[in-house]
Amino acid sequence: MGRFSKTYYAHPLSDIHTEDIGTDTHIWQYVVVLQNAQIGCKCNISCHVFIENNVRVGDEVTIKSGVQLWDGLRVEDQVFIGPNVTFTNDKNPRSKQYPEDFQQTHIYNHASIGAGAIILGGTEIGPYAMVGAGALVTKNVPARALVVGQPARIVGWVNDDGTKMEERNGFWIDSNKQKWIEDNKKLIKA
């Protein structure tokens, strides 16, 4: 029913201004993608999403409804961005006053961001990290960290599939029975 090309599907009620969209990506109704945005292969971009110019989205990314991706955002492969997640990119916003460069925010491979979370500009969310619904991320989230709250704080560590690792005898045990230790808010294989 929508507009098909050789590489991706765009719903007829979407407004796409870039040709830099990968194979098998699906873009649904009321999505706006500006001219210089780059979107990878096999992505699913739900309705009511806005993607600004200086945004890079990797392969197999899911972006749920009500999300705006602002200039300076980098999203790596297999990232999940839940509904109504809010990103910022300007530390000192003022109407009609634009910074020379917007803050860079980086979401690494396999990270997941829960519904309604707020991600402040200039932060990084590490590989496999899990940001809980409604969390306020004000600083970097390490790889595999499970963060919740406002401001977000580490409450555990997660497996590849996003389930929480088991804590036992001072170690974190992953789903493959591998032991990890927490060192200075980072997880290291034991």
Distance CA 107, CA 127 (A): 8
Q: What pLDDT was estimated at residue 163?
A: 96
Token couple for 12: 């007829």
In angstroms, the CA 33 to CA 11 distance is 12
CA distance 61 to 43: 5
Residue 3 has pLDDT above 70, yes or no: no
**Domain extents in the chain:** 3-163
CB contact at 8 A, 34 and 48: no
What does the pLDDT read at residue 1?
A: 39
- Cα separation, 2 vs 171, in Å, equals 51
Helix (H) or strand (E) holding 145: strand 145-148
Residue 6: predicted pLDDT: 64
> What confidence tens digit (pLDDT) does each residue in 155-185 have?
999 999 999 999 999 999 999 999 999 999 9
Confidence of residue 5 (pLDDT cuts 50, 70, 90): low
User: Where do we find the tokens 């790889």?
Assistant: 143
Q: Do 53 and 85 contact (CB within 8 A), yes or no?
A: no
| CATH of span 3-163 | 2.160.10.10
Of 119, 189, 6, 62, residue with least CA distance to 21: 6
Picking from 21-30, 63-72, 126-135, 181-190, which range would have the lowest pLDDT averaged per residue? 181-190
Amino acid at 143: A
Averaged pLDDT for residues 85-111: 96
Is 87 a residue whose pLDDT tops 50? yes
**Given a cut of 80, is residue 50 above it in pLDDT?**
yes
Nearest to 26 by CA among 48, 6, 41, 37: 41
- pLDDT tens digits along 100-143: 999 999 999 999 999 999 999 999 999 999 999 999 999 999 99
Q: At 107, which amino acid appears?
A: I
Query: What does the mean pLDDT of the chain come to?
Result: 95
SS3 state of residue 119: strand
